[in-house]
Structure 1
Amino acid sequence: MIDFLSRLAMSFSGFVATIVLTRTLGQTRYGAYVVVISVLAWVTIASNLGLEQAIKKRVSETTDGNYVVAGAIIQIGLYAIVAVCLWLAGPYLNAYMGIDATLILIGLLAARLIGDFVQTILDGQHLVHVSSLLSPIELTSRSIVQVSLVIAGFGITGAVAGYAIGAVVAALIGSYFVSFDPSLPSRQDFARLKSYAQFSWLSSVKGRTFLSMDTLVLALFVSNSLIAVYEIAWNLASLFAIFGSSISRTLFPEISKLSSEEGVSGEVVELLRVALTYAGLFIIPGLVGGALVGDIVLQIYGPGFDTGYYILLMLTFARLLYGYQSQFLTTLDAIDRPDLTFRINAVFVAANLVLNLALTWRFGWYGAAVATTLSAALGLTLSYYYASRVITVVIPFDEISKQAVAAGIMAAVVYALLALVGDSLALVLVFVGVGALVYFCALVVISHEFRTTVVDNLPLRVPTLVGS
């Protein structure tokens, strides 16, 4: 719950900051900033090579071994290699990004890696409730600095500086809670990290492929202004997916510990079922709501952003598929089967790259959105197939269908309000809140499991719900 609430606060902070950035920088300059951050995300993966997942796994399953220091040594070495490569490729990178930002990219990379490393250690040490607070701290710090500097006239430089400062602030706070043995690690510590990372590195590539391969490919074929609209649609789609992401992150250390102690037990099967039950809790109504008022909501970001309406719908559906896929992959990783996730991710990455290049070249940004959706569907199919081979998979069709019914009730109410009152931006924002309330009230009524979950997580007992 702490992880979800922190992500919700983080999303709100980022939502407000993004509106300011798009309206102040404009579509073209904001699009250039998006390209820089997308490149950063990919070089971060090149500087990690599965190390993050390996550290999280090894730290979470045992108190033996000095994986924190071993991981830090490897991370420093990888960063040095990638930084040199970036410096040598500077002219080509600058030409691709459209601005002279290679040295800035090297500095951003250091800040990003430090922040990610601290969060990884905390997750592995079963301190998800602590690491979860770092993300909103980072994004809030970033947003404050970005908005201040951009309004002051520093443009893209101010936006980039805010990104780095936010990561450093979160890392400094998180490092206070990290515990580790300062002694030198053994050769076995490095070997155990390598044994996991040699499979898990592709998981990071897969995740980044889904999040920003389309952006990188779009930079080859369309203008930065269109990239800005596409990125905003993607951000809104991702906003609906925060609950599913929170579930994956929270359950990984728990499933990892259970499987290392008891093997693939009934508890692990139940945790996967619960994860699948709630992976679409927010994004199912988000997809329905986006179809009703998505074009109007996009106008918040400025003139011209409503052209991303159909992109928003396709990317939201892709996010829904990916959310379910993530629960399977997280479970496979947690039960120490990175070899299976490697196979899934290899197919996913290859398919995503080929589809993005072919469809974006032919159909522009619609092709990119379709490519992302098709690759998510393929990944979900493969992840279900491999997960069902090693663990009993119980698909909660009943609960998922109840979420769809509740979303339908919500849609009927919102549609009636739109027809009776109108569809101005101010009114639509109110209707969004009303729709959310209707959805959750309807789900509480029709779903006993959801009602029980709500009661179990309320700080006070509610007689009406308890007695239902």
Structure 2
Amino acid sequence: MVLAGAAAWTHGREQMSADSSEMTKSSDDPGHAITQGAKANAAGLLLRLAARAAFLFMAARLFGPRAYGNFVLSVAVIELCVSVGSLGVKKTLFPLLDRAEVDGKRPLVHVVIDAAVMIGIASVALAAMISALGFLLAPPDVAVALALIAPMIACQALIDLAVAAVRWRGRVRYEIIGRSVLEPWILASCATGAVLAGLESSGLAIGYWCGTLSALAYACWGIAREFPKPLSRSYSFDYRGAKQLLAMAPGNSSNDLLNALYYRIDIYIVGIVLGPVPTGIYGLARQLTTPIRQVRQSFDSLLVPGIARIIDQCGVPQTTLALSSSIRQILALQLPMLVAALAIGQPLLQLLGPGFEAGYHVLIILCAAEILQSAMGLGDLVFVYRKPGLGLAITLVSVATSAVLAIFLMPRFGITGAALASFAAYCVRSVLRVAALRWQFRLTLPLASVAVPSVAAGLAIVPALLIASPLMALGAALLVYAIVLKAGLAATGQTLQLAGFDREYLSRLDSPT
């Protein structure tokens, strides 16, 4: 594992050192920069996939469904707290830095330090509260697991702040290497080392601490490098800037909180209703769907500020081309993962340990749900920058849908019922999102932008299900997908290139005519 991690690190460094992995604020071709940045992030995705596979195999084999279920439930609670403790800085830091740069009265890094102070205070308070509540309300083994990793709320929130700051500078390497190499590989390595040292009961928590702290240290080093002469002036806390951050925080933090709850409410309900062993099986299947979401996240580092700039300069209706081309490209990368899950999901789960094969149907349903949300969810960026309250209401309805359906379906269908509830909630959110974009912003995302990848995936499912050999089924299905996708794009005149971000497009939209 150490050798594999070293190889991944070397490859990541070489990939990130290329000029294409960076986008400066003055780029003449934002669409090209976003694509190149996504390619760099995709390299990080491959590294993260390898690390996740190593961690899941280690966790399943060494700890089993019960201990892994307690860890999954604890991490889900921690991540929910991070969405509050980070004060929404993943989105709100950008305008604050823009204003500080124009004003020129204060070093930019001081704006970041202000946010770090506020995040630290909020996160420490949350960690103390969640630890106390855990011992009062949760079963003893869950409470102990939660208390062991609760201090990492502050560190995870500060990682969000640090990577947002360097992303504002147009740098994605710190997020990729920190999140995709250091954090997962060190987590897996240290958790394994803890077991070998006889610390089985706290091995997963030790790994989580080590992985989080390494990613935080690297992200902070990125700030020191990318914000020159950070200590050129004496630092003093800016109460005016803090008020601006706090003014933007409630709407976006509430939206982040509901989104985090939306993504994890199934884990909470499974843990409460069915117990740790089903939670471990469900959580493992859910973890295997994470690469689908990470395809979308590989674009977010540069796509989010690009969309924000179009909205700010040209208005919401003019984001149609950028959103449509982005959705098509992301969907074209995600759908083969669903096809692969159909072909090899069952033997993969069996390989991870006894009992985990019961999560096969959960895996397929959640793969489809992740694709629906992460690709089509790009429209949420419009709500973030124009109507955060509307996005909040849509998310709240979706959370309620997931909770109600899970409670109704789980007694009959178990963990598969929880997965079906999540999928139904994602469908409800997608319908409400499309309706709101059309009604509130006159923004229509053409179905033609997703038709070709969807048809290709539909045809590829046939060999994935009919061929007995998993590897042959996988190869045949991916071949069918590639052939149909290429033919469909050629027949419709579409491409997988991003459009709508170039300077000429923006100039044309800004013109009076």
Instruction: Give the TM-score normalised by the residue count of structure 1.
Output: 0.85
Aligned mates of 1:221, 1:3 — CA distance in 2: 37
Query: Using a 3 Å threshold, how does the CA distance of structure 1 residues 361 and 111 change in structure 2: closer, same or farther?
Result: farther
Q: Does residue 285 of structure 2 align to residue 228 of structure 1?
A: no
SS in 2 for 1:282: helix
Identity of aligned residues (%): 19
1:397 Cα deviation after fit: 2.7
The one-letter code of the counterpart of 2:406 is: N
1:414 Cα deviation after fit: 4.3
- The match for 2:293 among 229, 236, 241 is 241
Moved more, 160-169 or 115-124: 115-124
- Could you say which residue in structure 2 is the equivalent of 1:132? 176
RMSD (CA atoms): 2.9
1:388 Cα deviation after fit: 2.5
SS in 2 for 1:395: coil
- Could you say which residue in structure 2 is the equivalent of 1:331? 382
- Could you say which residue in structure 1 is the equivalent of 2:337? 286
- Could you say which residue in structure 1 is the equivalent of 2:488? 446
| Superposition map of 1:53-92 within 5 A | 53-59=91-97, 63-64=101-102, 67-92=111-136
- Could you say which residue in structure 2 is the equivalent of 1:458? none
- The match for 1:315 among 334, 346, 366 is 366
| Superposition map of 1:192-211 within 5 A | 192-211=244-263
- The match for 2:221 among 170, 176, 180 is 176
Are 1:399 and 1:447, in contact at CA under 8 Å, matched by a contact in 2?
A: no
1:280 Cα deviation after fit: 2.0
SS in 1 for 2:67: helix
Query: Using a 3 Å threshold, how does the CA distance of structure 1 residues 97 and 390 change in structure 2: closer, same or farther?
Result: farther
1:328 Cα deviation after fit: 0.8
1:385 Cα deviation after fit: 2.1
Aligned mates of 1:60, 1:321 — CA distance in 2: 33
- Could you say which residue in structure 2 is the equivalent of 1:24? 62
- The match for 2:85 among 13, 33, 47 is 47
Are 1:311 and 1:366, in contact at CA under 8 Å, matched by a contact in 2?
A: yes
- Could you say which residue in structure 1 is the equivalent of 2:266? 214
| Superposition map of 1:54-453 within 5 A | 54-59=92-97, 63-64=101-102, 67-92=111-136, 95=139, 97-98=141-142, 100-137=144-181, 138-178=183-223, 179=226, 183-264=235-316, 266=318, 268-333=319-384, 335-360=385-410, 363-414=413-464, 418-419=467-468, 423=469, 428-429=470-471, 431-433=473-475, 435-448=477-490, 453=497
Are 1:142 and 1:165, in contact at CA under 8 Å, matched by a contact in 2?
A: yes
Q: Which runs of 4+ in 1 moved over 4 A?
A: 179-182, 412-416, 449-452
Are 1:59 and 1:125, in contact at CA under 8 Å, matched by a contact in 2?
A: no
Moved more, 113-122 or 283-292: 283-292
1:110 Cα deviation after fit: 3.2
Query: Using a 3 Å threshold, how does the CA distance of structure 1 residues 56 and 219 change in structure 2: closer, same or farther?
Result: farther
The one-letter code of the counterpart of 1:148 is: G
Moved more, 239-248 or 131-140: 239-248
1:44 Cα deviation after fit: 2.1
Are 1:288 and 1:407, in contact at CA under 8 Å, matched by a contact in 2?
A: yes
Aligned mates of 1:235, 1:357 — CA distance in 2: 22
Query: Using a 3 Å threshold, how does the CA distance of structure 1 residues 338 and 315 change in structure 2: closer, same or farther?
Result: same
SS in 2 for 1:63: helix
1:349 Cα deviation after fit: 2.8
The one-letter code of the counterpart of 1:313 is: I
1:199 Cα deviation after fit: 0.9
1:295 Cα deviation after fit: 2.0
Aligned mates of 1:56, 1:354 — CA distance in 2: 37
Aligned mates of 1:311, 1:226 — CA distance in 2: 11
Gaps of at least 5 residues in structure 1 are 455-468
Are 1:58 and 1:124, in contact at CA under 8 Å, matched by a contact in 2?
A: no
Are 1:30 and 1:156, in contact at CA under 8 Å, matched by a contact in 2?
A: no
Aligned mates of 2:340, 2:131 — CA distance in 1: 45
User: CA deviation digits over 1:272-323, x for unaligned, max 9?
Assistant: 1122212322333333443344322321211222211221222122112212
Instruction: Give the TM-score normalised by the residue count of structure 2.
Output: 0.78
- Could you say which residue in structure 1 is the equivalent of 2:44? 6
Aligned mates of 1:83, 1:64 — CA distance in 2: 36
1:136 Cα deviation after fit: 0.8
Gaps of at least 5 residues in structure 2 are 1-38, 104-109, 499-513
SS in 1 for 2:443: coil
The one-letter code of the counterpart of 2:163 is: Q
SS in 1 for 2:331: coil
1:396 Cα deviation after fit: 4.3
Aligned mates of 1:311, 1:452 — CA distance in 2: 30
- Could you say which residue in structure 2 is the equivalent of 1:466? none
